[in-house]
Amino acid sequence: MHDIKFIRDNFETFKKKLSSRNNTVKIDSILDLDKKNRELIYEKEKLEKQKKDISKSKDEAMFSKSKEISLKIKDLSNEQIKNKTKLDNILSSIPNIPNEDVPEGLDESANKVVEIKGEIKSKKFKEKSHYELGEKLGMLDFDLASKTTGSRFVFVKDQLALLERALSNFMLDTHILENGYKEISPPLIVSEETMYGTGQLPKFENDQFEIKLDQNEDRKFLIPTAEVILTNIVKNQIISQNDLPLRLVASTPCFRKEAGSYGKDTKGMIRQHQFYKVELVSIVQNDKCLDELERMTNCATKILDKLQLPYRKIILCSGDMGFSAEKTYDIEVWLPSEKKYREISSCSSCGSFQARRMNSRYRNINNEKILTGTLNGSGLAIGRTLIAIMENYQEEDGSIIIPDLLRPYMNNLHKISTIRS
């Protein structure tokens, strides 16, 4: 959400910065709606003062006029509410403004690689995809999931299920014990207001799974990422500056319709309606966001370093960033079967954009109330990390070597195969 005062005072600058964000919302009416809103408030306040003065005068002859004023106030209030709703609907559908060091561009072709790390090992055999390996091992079952649930779901079985659980525990331990994050086990269902706070609603409603708990209940949604519920922990709160930064981590299932992905990644686990992810969220002073983004991204890449998986870090251009982001790094891991890097994490600074929607503030040392800064990132996507290990650690016979650091989480299993080793 944007500050209407900033837009009012810097409209042309705002409009120019927004032009690189693939924004489809028409913003030219904002100033007119804002002006009308302030005029209506002014007229209403004038009438309320008149009514108050009449009440103080105790002049019975003026009581009939007081009733007329009350009716006018009611009409003005209704008109102002309608006008404000129009204004808020536009403001809530406009994406965040990109930070100054974000490259301009309309799509992923303008993204810039900032780091490549890890050795891409050549093998003497043709490397299989994760779904070929998983089906041969009898540990990934897409057909069964299709029968029981539908497309873009999978049963993960036996040793691969153990590896999936091991990855979650390994990532949590690293982020908690080494990176200073606090673990949260949150609800997986959130309210409409909570989804609004982080920017999923109203613009991306078609991507969400809405559920019915009760006919009379408010709208509820399955979380598309733990970012939603973790960030909203500070909704409608004033935090002491001494309690910042607040760094949270959760390992949860995530649920997405992937409405815009028809025909993409139809095979395997790359794009699923349900997947597991370890999510990192930071709540900071809003002038500390960019420093925290570097720290968070390093916490995510540390997992890949420990697992010795080759990856690259990319800064997204203005047109490829998420709705709430002011700056985003994507981390992409190497997949041998595709001979290319694929996204495994996205770390974003949102500045005060989400905080304004959530009304999240902190009290500084001068006792001033200031909007917090929020950040979120994957640390990492568990399913895609599973895929990367399967493909990068595969052997010619279709077995998969377990990275050393994961073995204590897997009963000291060294290799995944149809025959336990």
Single-letter code of the amino acid located at 252: T
What is the number of domains present in the chain? 2
User: What integer pLDDT is reported at residue 420 of this predicted model?
Assistant: 43
Q: Looking at residue 96, what DSSP letter applies?
A: P
Give Cβ neighbours of residue 193 (< 8 Å, ≥ 6 apart).
235
Which of residues 29, 64, 91 is at a domain's end?
Answer: 91
Closest CA to 280 of 331, 346, 233: 346
Residue 182 belongs to some domain of the structure: yes
Which of residues 58, 91, 124 is at a domain's end?
Answer: 91
Residue 100 belongs to some domain of the structure: no
| Same domain, yes or no: 228 and 255 | yes
Cα 51 from Cα 70, distance rounded (Å): 8
| Same domain, yes or no: 232 and 114 | yes
Residue 39 belongs to some domain of the structure: yes
Is the separation of the CB atoms in 80 and 88 below 8 Å?
no
Phi, psi of 73 (to 5 degrees): -60, -40
**What is the domain-level CATH number for residue 335?**
3.30.930.10
| Same domain, yes or no: 303 and 263 | yes
Which of residues 91, 123, 146 is at a domain's end?
Answer: 91
| Same domain, yes or no: 125 and 44 | no
| Same domain, yes or no: 54 and 189 | no
**What is the domain-level CATH number for residue 29?**
1.10.287
Is the separation of the CB atoms in 383 and 333 below 8 Å?
no
User: What integer pLDDT is reported at residue 421 of this predicted model?
Assistant: 40
Cα 266 from Cα 270, distance rounded (Å): 8
User: What integer pLDDT is reported at residue 24 of this predicted model?
Assistant: 81
Residue 97 belongs to some domain of the structure: no
With residues binned 3-state (H G I as helix, E B as strand, rest as coil), the percentages for the chain, rounded to 5, are 45, 20, 35
The H-or-E segment that residue 35 falls in is: helix 30-57
> For the chain, how big is the Rg over CA atoms in Å?
26
Q: Which range marks the domain in which residue 22 is found? A: 4-91
| Same domain, yes or no: 351 and 205 | yes
| Same domain, yes or no: 11 and 149 | no
Residue 113 burial (CB count, 10 A) = 12
| Same domain, yes or no: 76 and 112 | no
- β-pairing, 361-363 vs 238-240, is parallel
Degrees, nearest 5: CA angle 111-115-121: 115
Residue ranges of the chain whose pLDDT lies below 50: 420-421
User: What integer pLDDT is reported at residue 55 of this predicted model?
Assistant: 78
| Same domain, yes or no: 306 and 236 | yes
Cα 328 from Cα 46, distance rounded (Å): 47
Cα 378 from Cα 230, distance rounded (Å): 13
Residue 421 belongs to some domain of the structure: no
Residue 98 belongs to some domain of the structure: no
| Same domain, yes or no: 251 and 283 | yes
Closest CA to 346 of 381, 392, 387, 303: 381
User: What integer pLDDT is reported at residue 66 of this predicted model?
Assistant: 84
Give Cβ neighbours of residue 272 (< 8 Å, ≥ 6 apart).
152, 153, 154, 383
Residue 4, both tokens = 């209407």
Stated pTM of the model: 0.93
Tell me the pLDDT tens digit for each residue of 19-75. 889 888 888 899 999 999 999 999 999 999 988 888 777 676 677 788 889 999 999
| Same domain, yes or no: 75 and 141 | no
Residue 140 belongs to some domain of the structure: yes
Residue 312 belongs to some domain of the structure: yes
Q: How many helices (H) and strands (E) are present in the chain, helices listed first? A: 12, 17
Cα 419 from Cα 135, distance rounded (Å): 15
Residue 313, both tokens = 């870090």
Residue 161, both tokens = 């299920």
**Range list of H helices, 234-375:** 289-307, 353-358
Strand-pair partners of 247? 282
Cα 216 from Cα 286, distance rounded (Å): 38
| Same domain, yes or no: 69 and 185 | no
